[in-house]
Amino acid sequence: MKIRIATRKSALALWQAEHVAAELIKLPGISQTELLPMSTKGDEILDRSLQKIGGKGLFIKELEIAMQNGVADLAVHSMKDVPAEMPAGFCIAATMTRANHRDALITNGGVQLDELAENALIGSSSLRRQAQLKMLRPDLRVEPLRGNVNTRLAKLENGDYDAIILAAAGLERLRLDGHISHQFSPAEMLPAAAQGVLGVECLESNTELRKILKLLNNPTTLQTTSAERAIARVLNASCQSPVAAFATVEGGSLELTALVAHPDGGETIKDSITGDASEAEQLGETLAARLINSGARELLDSIEAMND
């Protein structure tokens, strides 16, 4: 069987697609893979925030159309970029082993966070990162930063920013981790739901392909991803919502921590839950309900109203 993989054109997206292709070719029944690089609206519109132009789905819509039209068989995504609610007719058929979950601080000359000058300018389009950065250093200024990894690094090197924050996994995959000045622990900066996880999407109706893709699943990553994405789904979090979630599994027990915070770092709602890893999704739903009871919905609504 030949598998056609729809992918975005960025260096990181191509790495991800090639990584999945290399794993697929090892599976029984797969004789050939082909990458189909495509441009998405999310890649093309760089002068506005994702929230204002349609959210995370803009990075995957064209890839889904290619699958619907029979041009491609599957698409590979960074799971933190996939909306918590999958569109009708599509599914995540494989959840790959999680890479580095951490956020990374990149500065010129390896300057550390506490060494940055007062009121230093940080580049990040993530309100989740902004909120937690402000909790660590309230004086810092944060301004939007979009584009692919190399574009963002170039803006830092050009002096447009004093520091930027990116996902460590993306930098490591592109062998650019030498630029990292500091990796934030989850205690310092809780990651986005499923950060560091690659997911493989296909048509729900393609049962033969789904059966094959299931072999790529990492059981532990599937559990942590289910728990973390349940938080985002129940909270109805968008790509710009300052919502973080991180789960770990040890000895059949899953521990999940989630955070909702105001972008200015002022108001924060954080809670954790521990339970049987086999009930990962239910644990996420329970924790999300607790966050809502603590005022998370009102906080998120006020933030969305502020950004309208």
CATH assignment of the domain containing 268 = 3.30.160.40
Same domain assignment for residues 206 and 131: no
Looking at residue 139, its pLDDT comes to 96
pLDDT of residue 53: 42
Domain extent, residue 209, equals 2-97+197-217
Q: Report the CATH number that the domain containing residue 62 is assigned in CATH.
A: 3.40.190.10
Are both 175 and 37 inside the same structural domain?
no
Does 264 map to a domain? yes
CA distances from 286 to 220, 235, 277, 291 (A): 20, 11, 13, 9
155 with 203, same domain: the answer is no
How do the pLDDT tens digits run along the chain, 308 residues long?
A: 899 999 999 999 999 999 999 999 999 889 999 999 997 655 555 444 445 544 555 668 889 999 999 999 999 999 998 988 889 999 999 999 999 999 999 999 899 999 999 999 999 999 999 999 999 999 999 999 988 899 999 999 999 999 999 999 999 999 999 999 999 999 999 999 999 999 999 999 999 999 999 999 999 999 999 999 999 999 998 767 899 999 999 999 999 999 999 999 989 999 999 999 999 999 999 999 999 999 999 999 988 887 76
Domain shared by 90 and 129, yes or no: no
- What's the total number of domains in the chain? 3
Catalytic residue among 43, 73, 81, 162: 81
Residue 166 lies in a domain: yes
- pLDDT score recorded for residue 122: 97
Same-domain pairing of 23 and 69 = yes
Is residue 191, in this structure, part of any structural domain at all? no
Is 282 within the bounds of a domain? yes
85 & 131 share domain: no
DSSP secondary structure of the chain: -EEEEEEESSHHHHHHHHHHHHHHTTSTT--EEEEEEE--HHHH--SS-HHHHT-GGGGTHHHHHHHHTTS-SEEEEEGGGS-SSPPTTEEEEEEPPP----EEEEEGGG--GGGSPTT-EEE---HHHHHHHHHH-TT-EEE---S-HHHHHHHHHTTS-SEEEEEHHHHHHTT-GGGEEEEPPTTTSPPPTTTT-EEEEEETT-HHHHHHHGGG--HHHHHHHHHHHHHHHHTT--TTS-EEEEEEEETTEEEEEEEEE-TTS-SEEEEEEEEEGGGHHHHHHHHHHHHHHTTHHHHHHHHHHHH-
Q: What is the pLDDT of residue 60?
A: 85
139 is catalytic: no
Q: Would residue 267 count as lying in a domain?
A: yes
Co-location of 50 and 80 in the same domain: yes
Whether 252 and 237 map to the same domain: the answer is yes
